[in-house]
Amino acid sequence: MANPDGADPRFTQEVRTASALWAAATTAKTTLKDTVNAVLLCQFGPFGGLITGLKALPLATVTGRALYLLRRRPDVDGATDAHLARSVTLPAQTLATTGGITATAFPFSRDEPLKGEPDEEIWVGVAVTGIDVAFDAEIEDF
């Protein structure tokens, strides 16, 4: 049944903001249950939100390495506790002025977003020190 006001029937609230966020992780993330050596990508507002896209780009020549996405609920978790939610492999790449950089995508989209709880924090990290990795996210905050 079509919604008479044209709103997306999957969500009861309208999107308040849609933004692209950028963060760079530089130090090895050696534990997967806390935020130590991870970078805060975003914190959702009081009504939660969605990540509809997340890509990682190496900022220099890189050998393959793991990338991590962690979730943290400040009202539930300890001061630095977090939970591994996703991991992808950044493939080896040689950066040169004659070619582009290949982005590595996490498995989020408009059809299958990562749904964030109210006030939840999203953190990102890299498995190996020595190369900066830029994370580019598409966020909808409710």
pLDDT of residue 10: 55
Indicate whether 2 belongs to any domain: no
pLDDT of residue 1: 47
| Structural domains counted in the chain | 1
Residue range of the domain that includes 111:
19-141
Indicate whether 6 belongs to any domain: no
Indicate whether 136 belongs to any domain: yes
CATH code of 94's domain: 2.60.120.200
**Ranges of the chain with pLDDT below 50:** 1
Indicate whether 60 belongs to any domain: yes
pLDDT of residue 19: 54
Indicate whether 4 belongs to any domain: no
Indicate whether 67 belongs to any domain: yes
pLDDT of residue 13: 55
Indicate whether 110 belongs to any domain: yes
**110-120 pLDDT, tens per residue?**
999 999 999 99
pLDDT of residue 105: 96
> Residues 44, 6, 120, CA angle at the centre, nearest 5°?
10
Indicate whether 11 belongs to any domain: no
